[in-house]
Structure 1
Amino acid sequence: MELAFRNARVVTRDEDFLGSVVVRDGRIAAVDRGPGAVGEDMEGDVLMPGVVDIHTDNLERHFFPRPNIDWNPVSAAVTHDSACVSVGVTTVFDSLSVGSFNGAPSRGVDNLVRLTGGLAEAREGAMLKADHRIHWRCETTADDLGARLEPLADHPMAAMFSVMDHTPGQRQYRNVEAHMAHWRAGGMSLEAAEQRLAEARERQARNAAANRRMVAELARAKGAPLVSHDDEDAAHIDEAADLGATVAEFPVTEEAASRARERGMVIVMGGPNLIRGGSYSGNVPASALADADLLDAFASDYVPRSLIECAFRLTEPPFGWPLARAVATVTSAAAQAAGLGDRGAVEPGLRADLLRVRRVGGLPVLRGVWAGGGRVG
């Protein structure tokens, strides 16, 4: 099967230009300068790679649309997939928490087995338009992390592992007073909140170091990237890098991001952080890391639409990034973080995951989505 696109603003790894693209058998076959003579007229719209999202929590929302109400897992996977494709995400790492710190029903082992089983069934039945993989987020303070992770890690779609530690008073929750106030606002007494904090710190001391090593060894054995979450300082980064982590996701300080750069890690921030103008937890803004040249890629975290907006927001003041550099934060750099060398750029030989985008009223609007050379949106 062959497709051709002409009169497009083609975005490559390094530049953008008026050009044409030919797709053959699901791969990009040719990229040429000039408007081209054949193919679908892009009318000057941007033609860029499909977005690669290495961390989205969105699947859980479709499985549990309301508290204590679970949906058919295959149906949830299909609905989630459609939502991703509609905002230009053609490669999806569905991030699922193991040993969760908040006890959400969707994160129990039984429900994770059901949810990932539904995802696999949807993929095997050719019901999914995007390429889905699983990103296991591992809460290293959990007493039973090993037992929880064991039946999940061998899932055929498992492709990334990350280590996280949500103990109040450090990393994402550095402001322990604010965290205590949140518990108190929920009706917890001061004595109960102090007891909960003490128990969390005891679990961390008991489990975190050994569990981090366990997850790192598992990722190494699977040949999957190891990701470190919410690092606060240089010591956190060094610990992660020494274990084999190649991605620093959501560093909470500029110090941590700077050390991640020195250690050769891919620095990934949350898309909502940039679009909303800062971190909801009061941590370092993505904009500050962009200004300091300490930002490589974005992940959607909880808003898949944020990624396509990030790519175009960075081209505007006060950033003023070239379009190719900005687009790379949600395409080639994200693909690098995931260890995927077959996608993320508009160049011959790579997967034909492509987006047609036009700016309307300052917002990027998707006018066409192709995954593996087939039109999906």
Structure 2
Amino acid sequence: MEFAFRNARIVAGEEAFIGSLLVRGGAIADVARGSSAVGEDLEGDVLMPGIIDLHTDSLERHYFPRANIDWNPVSAAVTHDGCLLSVGVTTTFDSMSVGSYNANPARGEETLRRLVDGLLNAQRAGLLKGDHRVHWRCETTSDHLRERLEHLADHPMTAMVSLMDHTPGQRQYRNVEKHTASWRAGGMSDLAVEERLSAARERQARNAAPNRAYVAALARERGLPLASHDDEDEAHVDEAAALGATVSEFPVTVAAARRARERGMTIFMGGPNLIRGGSYSGNVRASELAELGLLDGFASDYVPRSLIECAFRITGEPFGWSLARGVALVTDAPARASGLTDRGRIAPGLRADVVRVRQVDGLPIVRGVWAEGRRVA
């Protein structure tokens, strides 16, 4: 199969230019500058690489559309895939929590197995148009992490693991009063809150260090990228780097991000943080890290649409980044961080994962998506 685009604003490498693109056999065959009489006229729309999302929790929402209502896992996977493609995401690392820190029914062992098997079955049946992999988010304080991860790590879709610790009073939940206010709002008494806090801290003291070492060893043995989630200070970053982590995912302070840069880690922030203007937990703003040169990429976290918006938002005030630099935050950077060498850029020989975008009143609107040269949205 061969086709071409012309009159596109192509984002390739470190620049964007008007040109044409030739696709052959699912790969990019040629990129040329200037006008052409051959191919579909994109009317000056942006043509950028397909977005790569290293961390999205959105599959859970399609499996549990309402509390205690579970959906067919293959159906959930198909719907999830279509939603991602509609916002330009062609490669997805579906993040699932192992050893949950709360009572979320979407994160129990049986549910995790159903979700990941549903994803695999949908993929093997040719029902998914995007490329899906699994990112296991490992809650290191859990009493059940090892036994669950043992059964899940060898799943054929496993592609990344990360270290998490959601104990209140540190990392993402540094402001313990703000965090426990939601517990009290749910009807918990002061005594019940203190008991829950005490139990969480006891689990952390018992499990966190040995579980972190276990997850790191598992990642090394399987050649998986290892990320550290919500680091707060230099000690957190140093420990993660010593364990082999190469990705600093959602650092919560400037100090942690600076240390991650010094340790050669790739720094990712959540897309909603930039678009909303800050962290819902009150942690460091992605915009501040961007201004300090401490930002390498974005992951969607809980809003897949945020990635395409981040790529364009950062080209405006107060940032003024080039379009190529903004697009790289959600394409080239995640490709490099996850070891994917066949995508993330527009260049001959790479996968023809491309997205057509037009800005309407400053908002990027996806007008077409192709995965390996096939129109998928």
TM range (shorter): over 0.9
Unaligned runs of 5+ in 2: none
Amino acid at match of 2:24: R
1:219 positional shift: 1.0
Contact 1:48–1:356 (Cα < 8 Å) also in 2: yes
Spell out the pairing of 1:209-288 with structure 2 (5 A cutoff). Answer: 209-288=209-288
Alignment of 1:14-25 (within 5 A): 14-25=14-25
1:298 maps to 2:298: yes
Partner of 1:56: 56
Corresponding residue of 2:310:
310
Q: What's the secondary structure of 1:326's corresponding residue?
A: helix
Does 2:123 correspond to 1:123? yes
**What CA distance in whole angstroms lies between the structure 2 residues aligned with 1:42 and 1:163?**
43
**More displaced 10-residue stretch of structure 1: 185-194 or 274-283:** 185-194
Which residue type is aligned with residue 62 of structure 1? H
Indicate the residue corresponding to 1:31 in structure 2: 31
Partner of 2:206: 206
Q: Secondary structure at the match of 1:151?
A: helix
Specify the code of the residue in structure 2 equivalent to 1:104. N
TM-score, normalization by structure 1: 0.99
- Tell me what 1:168 maps to: 168
Of residues 79-88 and 100-109 in structure 1, the stretch that sits farther from structure 2 once superposed is 100-109
CA distance in 1 between counterparts of 2:329 and 2:121 reads 31
**CA contact 1:272–1:301 (8 Å) conserved in 2:** yes
Q: For residue 155 of structure 1, give the secondary structure of its aligned residue in structure 2.
A: coil
**Are the counterparts in 2 of residues 8 and 35 from structure 1 also a CA contact under 8 Å?**
no
User: What amino acid is aligned across from residue 34 of structure 2 in structure 1?
Assistant: G
Q: How many residues align?
A: 377
Q: Distance in 2 between matches of 1:372 and 1:311?
A: 22
> What RMSD over aligned residues (CA atoms) do the two structures have, in Å?
0.7
Shift of 1:168: 0.5
Q: Deviation per CA, 1:228-269, whole angstroms, max 9, x where unpaired? A: 000001111110011000000000001001111111111000
Q: Which aligned pairs between 1:114-193 and structure 2 lie closer than 5 A?
A: 114-193=114-193
CA distance in 1, matches of 2:166, 2:245: 18
Letter in 2 for 1:112: L
Distance 2:104 2:3 in 1: 45
1:37 offset after TM fit, Å?
2.2
The letter for the 2-side match of 1:353 is: D
Residue by residue, what CA displacement relative to the aligned partner does 1:272-322 show, whole Å, maximum 9, x if unpaired? 000000000000000000000100000000000000000000000011000
Cα displacement (A) at 1:180: 2.5
2: CA distance between counterparts of 1:77 and 1:182? Answer: 31
Q: How far 1:221 sits from its partner (Å)? A: 1.3
* 1:358 match: 358
Residue aligned with 2:267, SS: strand
Shift of 1:144: 1.3
The more displaced of 175-184 and 231-240 is 175-184
| Aligned residue in 2 for 1:346 | 346
Q: Distance in 2 between matches of 1:239 and 1:13?
A: 34
| Offset of residue 183 of structure 1 | 1.6
Report deviation, 1:181: 2.2
* CA-to-aligned-CA distance 1:91-149 (integer Å, 9 cap, x gap): 00000001111121111111111111110000001100100000000000001110111
Question: Aligned residue for 2:329?
Answer: 329
SS in 2 for 1:217: helix
- One-letter code aligned to 1:182: S
What's the CA shift string for 1:187-214, capped at 9, x where partnerless?
1111111111111111101000100011
Q: Which deviations, in whole Å up to 9, do the C-alpha atoms of 1:7-65 show, x marking residues without a partner? A: 11010120011111111111111111112221111110000000000000000001111
Counterparts of 1:35 and 1:207 in 2: how far apart (Å)? Answer: 61
1:256 and 1:69 map into 2 onto residues whose CA distance is 39
Runs of 5+ consecutive residues of structure 1 not aligned to the other structure: none
Identity of aligned residues (%): 71
Q: Distance in 1 between matches of 2:36 and 2:329?
A: 28
State the distance in 2 between where 1:242 and 1:312 align: 35
Task: Supply the AA of the counterpart residue of 1:304.
Answer: P
Could you say which residue in structure 2 is the equivalent of 1:86?
86
Q: What is the distance in 2 between the residues matched to 1:213 and 1:349?
A: 39
CA separation in 2, counterparts of 1:287 and 1:29?
37
